Amino acid sequence: MPPKKVQRKDKEEPRIGVYVCQCGLNIGAVVDCAQVAEYAALMPGVVLAKTNLYTCSDPGQEEIKQDIREQRLNRVVVASCTPRLHEPTFRTACQEAGLNPYLFEMANIREHCSWVHLHDKEGATLKAQDLVKMAVARARLLAPQQELEVPVHRQALVIGGGVAGIQAALDLANSGYKVYLVEKEPSIGGRMAQIDKTFPTMDCSICILAPKMSEVGRHPNIELLTLSDVEQVDGYVGNFQVRVRRQARYVQDSCTACGDCTQVCPQVAPDEFNTGLSMRRAVYRSFAQAVPSTFRIDMDLCLNKHGIVACDRCFQACQKRCIDYADQDRIMHLEVGTIIVATGVDVYDPTPLTEFGYRKFPNVITSLEFERLINAGGPSGGNLIRPSDQRIPKTVAFLQCIGSRSKRSNIYCSNICCMNTIKDALLIKEHWPETKVIVFYIDIRAFGKGFEDLFQRARREGISFIRGVPGEIIEDPESQDLTLIGENTLLSQLYRYEADLAILSVGIEPRKDSPVIQRLLNLSTGSDGFFLEAHPKLRPVDTPTAGIFLAGCAEGPKDIKDSVTQACAAASRANILMSQGKVMVEAITAQVDEALCQGCGLCVKVCPYSAIRQDPETKIVGVTQASCAGCGTCVAECPFGALSQRHFTDAQILAQIEAVTEETPEKKAVAFCCNWCSYAGADFAGVSRMQYPTAVRIIRTMCSGRISTQFIETAFRRGAAAVLVSGCHIGDCHYINANHQTEKRVKKVWKKMERLGLNQNRLQLAWISAAEGIQFSKKIKEMVEIIGTVTLEEINQTKEVLVPDKKEKKKGEGMNRDQEYLGTL
């Protein structure tokens, strides 16, 4: 709905209160906060400007509340940290004092200023002044907003049936919610089911997991969907519509798991559960404790593929007649309120590290293969035998950090391999005490509760720890014994160790199919490929998408205990939403001014959420408020100014651009950053204290798709030396694919600049993720170099030739209502 004129005339004069936070010494030691406050006090509309030691503290908030009441403030600006941290805090404070929370604005003078300009106090103070000026300019134009209330379905979806998924499903089911647990494999259990013992307690892994698995199987609130894939997810927090494909099992649920079918099946294949160390039949069960215990037929292996029955031995053998060759995939449509992603990890495949000879030398195995070998339910019945001659090895070597901490594989530490190796080494000593066990390590990271004790115990039991990973492993072709050559760095001595068996302690990495889940659920990933949490410290299990939570290794490498802890946390977070039964949607949605809409339908095409529908007769569009996620890409697309985004109006953003370019624009660059990735990346650069020059001013939009060509051109027209447009990497957009529009629009301006003979280099487009603080600071340094090359003549020429298009003029007319509002101030 377009705001009515009458309302505007009623509006009071803006009475803005500005609070410049020192944040102890975090800001105060670099930025002259008193000077910034004095500067702010002179800005139009500002009635008071103060400095605070800690504005976010209770007394700090109390002061704001008191001023709202006593000084009749109707806008509040706090210059402190990133709005991603404390905007909700201050919004609540405003609300408590009777001020609409959308009349609050923040200037980020910590992450984007004091922390990144530690050695340029003067520059930082000037920049802080600019940032406050931008916030005040925007605050003047803020309007009160009402949030929309959306109901939340009291049903949850858990994706992944490993220990994290199991725990999350049980917690939610026990809280009384209906839970759908979707698992790709024929049985739940995940990686934990494959492991023999757990560290540091040396509990039997399957013994502690199996009771939980069967509880899932019989829980009245859990619907277990194995052999299933999530194919599509639509909707929004509280109201997700999920399509799941249940693959045909070809064995009915009435199966008693007697195993008669397997006995007669003629087809064999490597057993995935035993990492290929044994064989299974085409009709099989993954492992003895599988839940559900129902067998399944692997149709890719069975002779009856494509409905032609060439063999029916299993059918004949089954007394209960459970075999059904005609079984078909089923599609299920689920309505859920919350989703927990517990998709787990893959294990690193060390084949590319040819110097260790994995897959070339039979006696070089991975730690997961070792788990199956030492497990009583495994292919060797718990006897650690070496693959080449089935002999129990006398000397066993472990090699650490294989596939971790390396640019050749994964750069992160996989977190679990050190303790897993120590546990494995102790297991060998327990079963065969005479075995010589040598662990070749770089650093032993025994950081958790009880971990150091286990490490000490391993050393006392006679396990040798040698610092320095072998350069290579060579094999005696006859005996197939191995020789490990390397350097003991603590003694500065080369070694040659003979070993019967070498175990590569492999790391873990994101699942190969995790991009599918990422796309379906609109998640973002860090540079390591793991799913990114909404905040690394304070929202560690939330995703940026409301209503979706993370559990287990999908979020990052972790051990069983941490996975379970995180699963409990994710379940608890989902529980909060579902127990309230409703959720408020931030009032940043798009709205249509029907009088201005020409029915061109461009907005319908760019909306990633199909939230805009067009009247078939009048062609006039309308926005479904509950579906609109607030990216604003439709607003940037509309040629007539008929669409506006609440709380991110064109006038508000233009006011920020004007504030930046008021003084010495030729020495500055205007940066537009999306809230989720590039603004967060800039925050990360701040948190990491990556230093860069002060020349760039950041304007935050929710999505880079909100940045219209008009904003970029206005910045240039106002004399800015350079403009940076920055968003999430293509494919990682938090609004599905809205950043494709960003790219299109920037290219459009580049083209126009080329046509007008302007230096295109002055407009930069950068994809920067929330984890890429380094890339952000590099980009800023690059921008400063560009600013250095831009001459005053060039800027003046730009002002002359870069005139608004016809379309843009029309858009300007649409914006008149904002301008009108400006006039009332």
Partner 1 sequence: MIKSIWELFNKEDLFECYQCARCTGSCPAAMVLDHSYGPRETLLRCLNLGQEAVINDERIWYCTTCQVCEDRCPQEIHIADLLTAICNLAAQRGNLPEKIKFSVDLVAKTGRTLVISDKVHRDRQKLALPPLSPLAVDEIEGILKKTGLNEDLELS
- Contact positions toward partner 1, by CB under 8 A? 355, 401, 405-409, 442-443, 467-472, 485-489, 492-494
**Residue 410 beta carbon to partner 1: minimum distance, rounded to whole angstroms:** 10
**Residue 435 beta carbon to partner 1: minimum distance, rounded to whole angstroms:** 24
User: 214: exposed, middle or buried (C-beta count within 10 Å: 0-12, 13-18, 19+)?
Assistant: middle
708 CB neighbour count, 10 Å cutoff: 25
**Residue 347 beta carbon to partner 1: minimum distance, rounded to whole angstroms:** 18
Q: Which is nearer to partner 1, 487 or 666 (CB)?
A: 487
Q: Which is nearer to partner 1, 34 or 469 (CB)?
A: 469
Question: C-alpha angle 294/300/304, rounded to 5°?
Answer: 85
**Residue 401 beta carbon to partner 1: minimum distance, rounded to whole angstroms:** 7
**Residue 467 beta carbon to partner 1: minimum distance, rounded to whole angstroms:** 8
* Amino acid making up residue 754: E
**Residue 695 beta carbon to partner 1: minimum distance, rounded to whole angstroms:** 24
Q: Which is nearer to partner 1, 443 or 476 (CB)?
A: 443
Q: Are 415 and 507 in contact (CB under 8 A)?
A: no
Q: Are 86 and 106 in contact (CB under 8 A)?
A: yes
Q: Which is nearer to partner 1, 83 or 470 (CB)?
A: 470
Q: Which is nearer to partner 1, 25 or 491 (CB)?
A: 491
Radius of gyration of the chain measured on its C-alpha atoms: 31
Strand 330-336 to 148-151 pairing:
unpaired
Q: Which is nearer to partner 1, 66 or 493 (CB)?
A: 493
Q: Which is nearer to partner 1, 493 or 796 (CB)?
A: 493
**Residue 472 beta carbon to partner 1: minimum distance, rounded to whole angstroms:** 6
**Residue 729 beta carbon to partner 1: minimum distance, rounded to whole angstroms:** 23
**Residue 411 beta carbon to partner 1: minimum distance, rounded to whole angstroms:** 9
**Residue 45 beta carbon to partner 1: minimum distance, rounded to whole angstroms:** 48
The DSSP call for residue 113 is: I
Chain CA centroid to CA 265, Å: 45
Q: Which is nearer to partner 1, 232 or 488 (CB)?
A: 488
Q: Are 218 and 203 in contact (CB under 8 A)?
A: no
Q: Are 330 and 245 in contact (CB under 8 A)?
A: yes
Q: Which is nearer to partner 1, 489 or 624 (CB)?
A: 489
CA distances (Å), origin 497, targets 289, 341, 440, 475: 40, 44, 11, 12
822 CB neighbour count, 10 Å cutoff: 14
Q: Which is nearer to partner 1, 409 or 522 (CB)?
A: 409
Where do runs of H (alpha helix) occur along 463-522?
514-521
Phi, psi (degrees; rounded to nearest 5) at 130: -60, -45
Q: Which is nearer to partner 1, 348 or 821 (CB)?
A: 348
DSSP 3-state of 243: strand
DSSP 750-795: HHHHHHTT--GGGEEEEE--TT-HHHHHHHHHHHHHHHHH--HHHH
Q: Which is nearer to partner 1, 293 or 688 (CB)?
A: 688
Q: Which is nearer to partner 1, 472 or 615 (CB)?
A: 472
**Residue 464 beta carbon to partner 1: minimum distance, rounded to whole angstroms:** 16
Q: Are 34 and 51 in contact (CB under 8 A)?
A: yes
C-alpha span between 29 and 24 (Å, rounded): 8
Q: Which is nearer to partner 1, 493 or 610 (CB)?
A: 493
Query: Which among 780, 547, 551, 786 has a CA at the least distance from the CA of 681?
Result: 780
**Residue 473 beta carbon to partner 1: minimum distance, rounded to whole angstroms:** 10
**Residue 352 beta carbon to partner 1: minimum distance, rounded to whole angstroms:** 12
**Residue 468 beta carbon to partner 1: minimum distance, rounded to whole angstroms:** 4
658 CB neighbour count, 10 Å cutoff: 16
Query: Which among 257, 171, 289 has a CA at the least distance from the CA of 578?
Result: 171
C-alpha span between 569 and 168 (Å, rounded): 8
Q: Are 646 and 589 in contact (CB under 8 A)?
A: yes
Q: Are 445 and 413 in contact (CB under 8 A)?
A: yes
Question: C-alpha angle 627/629/633, rounded to 5°?
Answer: 115
DSSP 3-state of 229: strand
Where do runs of H (alpha helix) occur along 141-249?
163-174, 190-194, 205-218
